Each structure stands twice: as structure tokens, then as C-alpha cells.
Chains A and B, each alone.
Chain A
Amino acid sequence: NAGVTQTPKFQVLKTGQSMTLQCAQDMNHNSMYWYRQDPGMGLRLIYYSASEGTTDKGEVPNGYNVSRLNKREFSLRLESAAPSQTSVYFCASNVAGDTYEQYFGPGTRLTVT
């Protein structure tokens, strides 16, 4: 049981390049999330998917797109990377329920130059 996995762990992009961050969970969770973590800002929600086939914007969705490929996988795409998107990105999942205890992946450290 690997929990939540993310690839890649590190990535350097030039401004304007595109890339997709991959996330997968093997806990049969319904809900999945993408966050970014910046110094002094905590974790900010980019997009989330309450169930397979649905996605919704979070607090900071601009510049990103997502795809809930199936129940296990939730990808985050940067179409044209900008230096402001330099951050650490975390994927998370949880069972839809009362407590919203989320399980996080190890993160992807992205630098845009």
C-alpha cells in the first residue's frame, strides 16, 4: 500500500514551458486535491475533485488545469509556466466523510526560471 504517490519529485522549467504533475492513490479514496506550498502562506488549494468525473476550482486555480483520469489518478497541468508558479506542489486524497483527514503525497518541487 503506497498511499499517495507523486511524480516527478523535482522539476526545473523555463518560462513558457508546459508540464504535467502526476498523482495517484491506492486507498480507494473518492476525493483528491492539489495544493501549493509557499513560504509564509501555508498550503493553498489549487483544484480538487470530490469524485471521479468532477473537478472544482480552489483558492488559486489561475494558470493550472486538472484531469481526474480515473478514481486513482489526478493530474495537474501547467500550460505555460511562469516564475510565480515556483513552489512545492502536494497532492492529497481522503474518503468523503465527516473528518476530512487528508493523506498527502511527498510533494513535487518545481522551479520556473
Chain B
Amino acid sequence: DQQVKQNSPSLSVQEGRISILNCDYTNSMFDYFLWYKKYPAEGPTFLISISSIKDKNEDGRFTVFLNKSAKHLSLHIVPSQPGDSAVYFCAARPYDKVIFGPGTSLSVIP
């Protein structure tokens, strides 16, 4: 049973608009959440993270929101650019490991 879920396998957004990628988790013991971005034929790269004691973290065009009561987090990209087209993985940390979701493929259309 997946502990980190990304229920949208893919998402298409027009350039300049907002992209919202969603993630749900089941384990209330997770204390840190991360988003990774992956281009084809490359390894994932770290994008942004948030501690469970916060509800928002912002880094340039990227903002992550955490709703602990709903066990839900989201990644907002504003404005979306064609270079943002990639697979985005949500990840969560329990203790000394990281658990990844299945990923959402984002396409930003020029």
C-alpha cells in the first residue's frame, strides 16, 4: 500500500499559468516532505522541501503548501514555463529514509 500518493499521473498547463501538483500521504509520523523534479534520462534533482511544523515554504516560482490535518501537500509553480516540463516526485521522510510517490508528469504548453 503506497504511503505517498500522487493521484494525477499527468498534467498539462499553458505557459504563464499556474501549475498545481498534489500529493497525499497516509503516515502521520512523516516529519519532512520534499519535491523532486526529473527530466528524461537524468536523475531526480531536489526542488523544494517543507518541515511538518510549517504550512508553507516558498522559493522563487515554487511554493509548497502542507495541510497536516488533511495529510495533503501541493506544489504550486507560478508562472509555469516550458522548461518546467518534467516528472515531479513528492517524497516524505519517516525516520532515516525517504519514501517517494509515483510521480506526476507535467507538460507546459508554449
Residues on A close to B: CB < 8 A? 4, 35, 40-45, 48, 50, 58-59, 90, 92, 98-107
Contact = CB atoms under 8 A, between A and B. Distances in A.
On chain B, which size bracket covers the interface? 20 to 34
A58 B49 CA distance: 22
A42 B98 contact: no
Contact of A104 (B44, B93, B101): B44
B47 to A, nearest CB: 10
Contacts of A105: 43
B4 interface: yes
Interface centre among A42, A44, A104 (most CB of B within 10 A): A42
Interface string B52-68: 00000000000000000
Contacts of A50: 96
A59 B45 CA distance: 21
Contact of B49 (A90, A101, A103): A101
Given A42-B4, A43-B100, A101 B44 contact: no
Given A42-B100, A101-B49, A4 B34 contact: no
Nearest to B2: A42
Nearest to B92: A100
Residues of B contacting A: mostly: loop
* Among all A-B residue pairs, the 7 with the closest Cβ atoms: A104-B43, A42-B100, A43-B100, A42-B102, A101-B46, A104-B44, A100-B93
Contacts of B2: 42
Given A101-B49, A107-B43, A40 B9 contact: yes
Given A99-B32, A104-B45, A107-B41, A43 B9 contact: no
Nearest to A104: B43
B32 A42 contact: no
